[in-house]
Amino acid sequence: MKITETLVAEHRIFLRVFDQIERLLPRMRTVAEVRRMASLVEALLMDHGATETELAYPALDHIMEDKGRLERLHQEHQEIDAGLREVQAAPSLVEARRRLEAALLMSRRHFQFEERFVFPLFEELLQQGTLAELGADWMQRIAGSGSDR
């Protein structure tokens, strides 16, 4: 499986999780509940973001002349992380909900950008063997992360 396929598959899973959280959000009655959901999303995205920034993006970095394109992705990762941390500091239930909704929306937009512009670059600029090798590296990371817990 190519790295682009694995990352898109993760996006699909995350989007379904986001859908469920958005359905539950109006029924959450405490700030603590919303904060727990934000922590869950943050944990999921942390591993995913690490895969992108440590495994996938460097493969493009060395062959792209304009590295500014990838800087946008790094910046968006930081903004999403910051948005999820803001949920933890929300002073009220309404504000916590609003901040979590904003972070989920930002994540959705980021996924769309990657799938429309970045992943096609991977397919265009990297050889199929390299994409498959990166996908295998991702599988090893996933297999190894389960034993840490």
The pLDDT, as a whole number, for residue 121 is 87
Which among 149, 143, 142 is positioned nearest to 47, based on CA atoms?
Answer: 142
DSSP one-letter string for 104-124 = HHHHHHHHHHIIIIIHHHHHH
The pLDDT, as a whole number, for residue 17 is 97
- The domains of the chain, with CATH numbers, are 3-142 (1.20.120.520)
The pLDDT, as a whole number, for residue 129 is 94
The pLDDT, as a whole number, for residue 65 is 57
The pLDDT, as a whole number, for residue 62 is 67
The pLDDT, as a whole number, for residue 57 is 80
For the chain, 149 residues long, the average pLDDT of each consecutive 10-residue run is: 93 97 97 97 90 81 64 87 96 98 97 91 90 91 66
Judge whether 44 and 145 are in contact, CB under 8 Å.
Answer: no
Side-chain-side CA neighbours of residue 114 (13 Å)? 27
